[in-house]
Amino acid sequence: MRFHSAACAAVISAAAVSSASAFGFSPVAVPPRTIAQSSPKPHNHRLHPVAFLSSSSSRSFGMTSTTTTTTTATSAPSSSSTSLSLAAGGGPEALEEYAASFASISKSSKIQNPKLVKLAGAAALPLSYLAGAAMTPSRRLAARAIGGIVTAVAAGGVGKSAVEEDVRKGCPAAIARRLLELGLEDANVADGVERLREDYGVEEVDFVDMKTEVYGVYLQGMAKNPLLKTSEMKELTNLRNALRLTNQQLGQAHAEAAVKFFRDISRFASKEELADEDHPDRISLDKYLFLSERAFRQGGETEEAFTFEMSRIGKAFDGLTKEQCLERVENTAKPFYERALNSARSKLDSGAVNPEMLSRAKATLGLSDEVAHQMHIEEFAKEVRVQLGMPETDDEDDEEEDEFIEDEEGNLKLVEREVKDTSGIKFQEGAFERLSKLQEVLSLSDIEGDLEISSTVTEFWCNTALAVMNDAIAKTKSPDKAWSIIEKRQKELFLQDSSMKKLLTQITIQSLGTMLEKTRLFADVGNQAATVNGLNDLIEAKNICKEVLTHGGWKEFDDFEATIFDPNDTSSACGFLSPSVRYNMHRLYFYRSISKGDAGKKKVSDETMAKLQEVQKILGVPESEINFEYKQYFCPDLQKALTAATEEVAKGNATSALVDTYKAEIQQMKADYRLDNDMVVFYSAPLYNEALYKIAGKAPGGIPTKDDVNTLKCLQDLLDIDEVNAQRVASEVFADTYKKAIKEALGSTGIIAEEYRKPLDDLKDRLGMSEEECREIYVRAMSEKFKPMVEFISNEMERLVLTQDQLSQKRGIDYGEDYFKSGKSASGKLGLGTEGNIMRDIMNLIDFYTENDLIEKREVGTKKIEKKIPAEEEGGEEQTITEEVPVYENTYPITALSSGAITEQLAELCYRQFLVSSFTEQGPNAARYEASKGTWGGILGLSSAKMEEIGSNIGGMVYDNYITQMMGSKGALDQQDMMFLANVQAKLGITAEEGEDLMLKTQTKVLSEEASVLFGSEKEPSPETIKAFREKCNSLGLDLQNDIGISKARLVDLFQYEIGPGINSGDITNDDGDLIDEIRDSLGLAEEEGEEVIESIISTRSRGLLAEAKSFVLRGMAADAVARLKELVQYAAFVDGDLGLAPEKSDAQKMYFSFAASDFEGLDEETVEKQKVLLKTALGIPDVE
């Protein structure tokens, strides 16, 4: 009989100690230090892990209780398994130590095969099961299990739950060992790990927790080593696949491990150390964040889930935000990508690198496009420096600090540094091709590449260009030579034209600005000579710089002064100076430049003027300041000369010779002083105004004499006063004089007589006033006469249309009976009072307006007209051409409404009154009234639309009354009526379309009223009445439903009323279909609607006739029955006998036989036979003979 070694060991142990203590079930937990110390190194062959037994009820999967006990003599202090206590290796080393921490507990456990537990069934097994299983002589595990059960029952022992707990706690270590034995890249590692769950009998949810714990241990071990390797990202991915973790489980593993990792790190590192980016522990934390971010992104997490997972890790790392976490991730990834970029540069000539490779590296490291692109630019900049023969970065270049020295007055001054010689720095041979290739690999645009080159070489080019420009200004180099050096240096440094233009501008500004700053020092102390010399040197230097720049053929420098000397730009050559400083420098130059001619007279030469203009541009002095300087310096002399000349001419009896003498003196002064005409007029205009007022004050009646007029013309010539300004001043001076003359010419009639018009025109010329000003004064004078006339008409209109009480209430005055001409209230045609004779007053106002030429014509557009051209020669053809001519519109400068003399309501009443009077007038004034309608409306201030509206309203009233009367008496309008309406239309200014619309509306109204009478009568309307009404509507083209407003139901009634009596009487038979259709169409009924009416009439009448015939037959009154049946046959003819009647067969036969036996005298045999057939069909007895 064979005994297994494990069984023997179990039996011996059971005999030696109690079952509780023999199998390790001690109330005291194994100390962590003992576990850590006794952990052996893992073997190469596969081992079955042993569960770690704990008295704690929590599932810590290797996490021991805080309870401690006395250690063995060989135990040494060690870290708890909850702290990693890792070497500097990585994930595998962490797994080895993690698995080794279970070794001592595995040895103390007596259960080496976890599958035995599963065979024990649901019952609790005593611990003596082990001995029974070992001693049962059977090769089969099942047989041994049965034997073990029997032995266990006999011997007693521990329960099954304790055994399962022992097995379950060994599972995490088994997972770790399985990963180490197979390796993460083994194709079967995932299945191998999954089988451990079955081997150890672990529930799925517990197994997931174990896998996440193992993953966390591996992750912490990897992060503990500060050195980050790109292969670790793939390593983590393989670990996740081996453990078959979902995104949610992966996030949980990272979050839980983050808590433990940060707790372990923070035990030994201070916050200051963790804030130091170069500290190893800070680097480990950043590495953990980087690995986590890559794991989440590569796992395909949604943005929301990614934010959640990173926020959990940030919270564990002392409350970092998501943004802070991602910033540290980016800083961790950058060095790797920088190494990739360095590698790309080193392998550039081999052709082994391309943009796709960098894109893959960027994606692997999770860098954003923006960050990667910026790194590309920085890498390109490094290569630019290398190709220039310089170190990659300028960190090695020590920046010299600014040095200051103290002058004699104790002020600090900056010590100018010695400019380094950079003329030897230039691109190596082949640099352009290498940079172009690198630019392509780095996916940089031409603009970005040029910008990096420009930013690197700008200083070197500027050093050369500035020195050359200063040499050109110092005249040691010609402009041609200077430009050739600048252009050569540009090519050596690959500098683009666009960049060089900006730099040249800055260099020119610097060179000229420096000279201007030195000149400013002289101006500040009032040194005129040095200031003038400095500005002259600056003019010469400016011209040299301009000549150098123009060699490049750039149009940007055509307006050189505006570009370089912009006073509004503080970075320009003069913008750094305040306006007051610049104006002062110009003033010094101006005063110093003025020379004294013969007899000590001031004079500005052409050369001086040219320089002054250049200095003005250099200093950015505006024209207003220049004018001020000229006025201050020259104008006292000018004003003195102008005043003397004006006083002499104003004495009177001025001659052209006198004027020419003074004018020549003034012109010479203008030439010497370089004064423009505007500056002369600035002083001459007030002198002319003063002289004009003096002359007007002395003139008799305010009207200047002929000598005064001559004096004024001489002054205008002398002082260069243009006609517009002279007329403007004259209008101010003589406006009242001209207005007084107009009022005197009006006289009592209010109309200027013809003999006064020419004197008024002569007066206008003598006063020197413009046509526009005179017209405006003329209109103002007329308005003073116009307004009272309008007010009078307004008052008369109120008196005509208002009652005594209404007028008293409106005006607040009690008027007696005699105020109203009739002594009664207002009355008249069309609701307007016409008893008062205000037409005379209105016509007087119209005459006032027209006779005084107040109506003005204004061009409002153009129109094309056809014009006939006579034949040029006899026998030739007449030609027609199209010509565009202006269109004019009458305008009214003063109106009743604009003057405030009348309200809008009264203005409309006045116009209405005028139209009514012109319409009703039959006397000699009719034509005059008719012609004045538009003028009267314009004088009132009414628009064309408003006048048309009022005319239409009156026309509507006339049309309504007349048409109603004529249609009431004659039924329709004849030719004479139409002629009358056309006359009304012409008189009231109604268009043809409006007249037609008014007539249609009135006719519709009349017929609508007739329709109301038609249906309002208690008696049913006769067919003749309906026919007449219908035909009247049809003749006028009116639709009974849409125009007259008769409803569909009433139209059906009209149809029934018109055809019903005819059908009943026999006047309308089945042969009269055309007549029925005509009536139906005339009423606007559809064919189906007409058929329904006819069927209703026939059906109703037929049923009545049948009942009467039946009654007569039953009473033996055959003759009366036959009369009813003959009428019934008439209705049957409409529907081919199908009347829908259903009499009793016996009654039907009796009625038929009575009909057949009746007298058919006067009818042919065919007609009689047809009636019999119709009756049989109607009675439902077609087969009766």
Contact (CB, 8 A) for 999 and 966: no
Please report, rounded to a whole number, the percentage of residues in the chain having pLDDT higher than 90: 24
- C-alpha distances in Å from residue 422, one per residue of 461, 485, 596: 8, 14, 53
Q: Is 639 exposed, middle or buried (0-12, 13-18, 19+ CB in 10 A)?
A: middle
Given this model, what pLDDT does residue 1032 score?
74
- pLDDT of residue 263 exceeding 90, the answer is yes
Residues 6 or more apart whose CB falls under 8 angstroms from that of 366 comprise: 293, 294, 297, 329, 333
Question: For 1034-1050, what is each residue's pLDDT tens digit?
Answer: 777 777 777 777 877 87
**Helix-strand-coil split of the chain, %, nearest 5:** 65, 5, 30
C-alpha 287/C-alpha 233 separation (Å) is: 11
Given this model, what pLDDT does residue 418 score?
59
DSSP letter string over 376-392? HHHHHHHHHHHHTTS-S
C-alpha 168/C-alpha 51 separation (Å) is: 6
Q: 866 pairs with which residues across the strands? A: 882
Strands 404-406 and 412-414: antiparallel
Contact (CB, 8 A) for 443 and 477: no
Question: For 615-633, what is each residue's pLDDT tens digit?
Answer: 989 999 998 888 888 777 8
Give 578's pLDDT tier (boundaries 50, 70, 90).
very high
**Which letter does DSSP use for residue 971 in this model?**
S
- C-alpha distances in Å from residue 743, one per residue of 134, 276, 1175: 149, 101, 105
pTM here is 0.48
**DSSP E strand boundaries for 270-417:** 404-406, 412-414
C-alpha 127/C-alpha 109 separation (Å) is: 12
Contact (CB, 8 A) for 114 and 200: yes
Closest CA to 633 of 586, 580, 598, 577: 586
Give 292's pLDDT tier (boundaries 50, 70, 90).
very high
Between 533 and 880, where is the model more confident? 533
Contact (CB, 8 A) for 1019 and 1057: no
C-alpha 37/C-alpha 43 separation (Å) is: 17
Closest CA to 185 of 254, 224, 240: 240
Given this model, what pLDDT does residue 320 score?
93
C-alpha 721/C-alpha 394 separation (Å) is: 72
Given this model, what pLDDT does residue 287 score?
92
Report residue 631 as tokens: 């006025």
Please report, rounded to a whole number, the percentage of residues in the chain having pLDDT higher than 70: 77
3-class state of residue 856 by DSSP: strand
Residue 84 sits at φ, ψ, to 5 deg, of -70, -45
Average pLDDT, the chain: 77
- Mean pLDDT of the region 453-457: 90
Q: 856 pairs with which residues across the strands? A: 891
**DSSP E strand boundaries for 565-673:** 595-596, 602-603
Report residue 41 as tokens: 């190194």
Report residue 196 as tokens: 């451990």
Using H for helix, E for strand and C for coil, what is the string for 993-1045? Answer: HHHHHHHHHHHHHHHHHHHHHHHHCCCCCCHHHHHHHHHHHHHCCCCCCCCCC
Using H for helix, E for strand and C for coil, what is the string for 251-318? Answer: HHHHHHHHHHHHHHHHCCCCHHHHHCCCCHHHHHHHHHHHHHHHHHHHCCCCHHHHHHHHHHHHHHCC
Give 597's pLDDT tier (boundaries 50, 70, 90).
low
- Mean pLDDT of the region 588-614: 78
Given this model, what pLDDT does residue 1127 score?
79
C-alpha 1176/C-alpha 1172 separation (Å) is: 6
Closest CA to 312 of 261, 270, 371: 261
Closest CA to 384 of 448, 315, 320: 448
Given this model, what pLDDT does residue 406 score?
63
3-class state of residue 1163 by DSSP: coil
C-alpha 605/C-alpha 595 separation (Å) is: 8
Given this model, what pLDDT does residue 49 score?
32
Give 1144's pLDDT tier (boundaries 50, 70, 90).
confident
- pLDDT of residue 831 exceeding 60, the answer is no
Q: 890 pairs with which residues across the strands? A: 857
- pLDDT of residue 403 exceeding 80, the answer is no
Contact (CB, 8 A) for 160 and 177: no
Residue 603 sits at φ, ψ, to 5 deg, of -155, 140
Contact (CB, 8 A) for 342 and 442: no
Using H for helix, E for strand and C for coil, what is the string for 185-240? Answer: CCCCHHHHHHHHHHHCCCCHHHHHHHHHHHHHHHHHHHHHCCCCCCHHHHHHHHHH
- pLDDT of residue 325 exceeding 90, the answer is yes
- pLDDT of residue 149 exceeding 50, the answer is no
Give 535's pLDDT tier (boundaries 50, 70, 90).
very high
Report residue 755 as tokens: 């003999």
Question: For 24-55, what is each residue's pLDDT tens digit?
Answer: 333 333 233 222 333 333 333 333 332 322 33
Angle at 424 between CA 418 and CA 428, to 5 degrees: 145
Residue 365 sits at φ, ψ, to 5 deg, of -85, -10
Contact (CB, 8 A) for 513 and 574: yes
* Chain centroid offset of residue 954 CA: 52
- pLDDT of residue 395 exceeding 60, the answer is no
Given this model, what pLDDT does residue 557 score?
66
- Segment among 84-93, 271-280, 431-440 with least mean pLDDT: 84-93
Give 13's pLDDT tier (boundaries 50, 70, 90).
very low
Given this model, what pLDDT does residue 596 score?
65
Per-position b or e across 1026-1048, b if 16+ CB within 10 A of its CB: beebbebbeebebebeebbebee
3-class state of residue 925 by DSSP: coil
C-alpha 455/C-alpha 1057 separation (Å) is: 105
Instruction: Scan for tokens 């730009």, then name that residue.
Output: 569
Give 22's pLDDT tier (boundaries 50, 70, 90).
very low
Residue type, 768: G
Contact (CB, 8 A) for 253 and 245: yes
Instruction: Scan for tokens 């070497």, then name that residue.
Output: 87
C-alpha 1039/C-alpha 1030 separation (Å) is: 10
- Mean pLDDT of the region 92-102: 88
Question: For 961-1015, what is each residue's pLDDT tens digit?
Answer: 666 666 666 666 766 767 767 776 666 666 777 777 777 777 777 777 777 777 7
- pLDDT of residue 256 exceeding 60, the answer is yes
C-alpha 1144/C-alpha 1165 separation (Å) is: 28
- C-alpha distances in Å from residue 1002, one per residue of 232, 993, 995, 998, 1063: 101, 14, 11, 6, 36
- Segment among 47-56, 222-231, 1113-1122 with least mean pLDDT: 47-56
Between 1132 and 794, where is the model more confident? 794
- Mean pLDDT of the region 196-221: 92
Angle at 750 between CA 746 and CA 751, to 5 degrees: 75
**Which letter does DSSP use for residue 300 in this model?**
T
Question: For 682-705, what is each residue's pLDDT tens digit?
Answer: 888 899 899 899 888 888 888 888
Q: 406 pairs with which residues across the strands? A: 412
Given this model, what pLDDT does residue 129 score?
36
Contact (CB, 8 A) for 595 and 606: no
Contact (CB, 8 A) for 1096 and 1062: no
Closest CA to 65 of 38, 26, 20, 94: 26
Given this model, what pLDDT does residue 282 score?
92
- Mean pLDDT of the region 369-391: 91
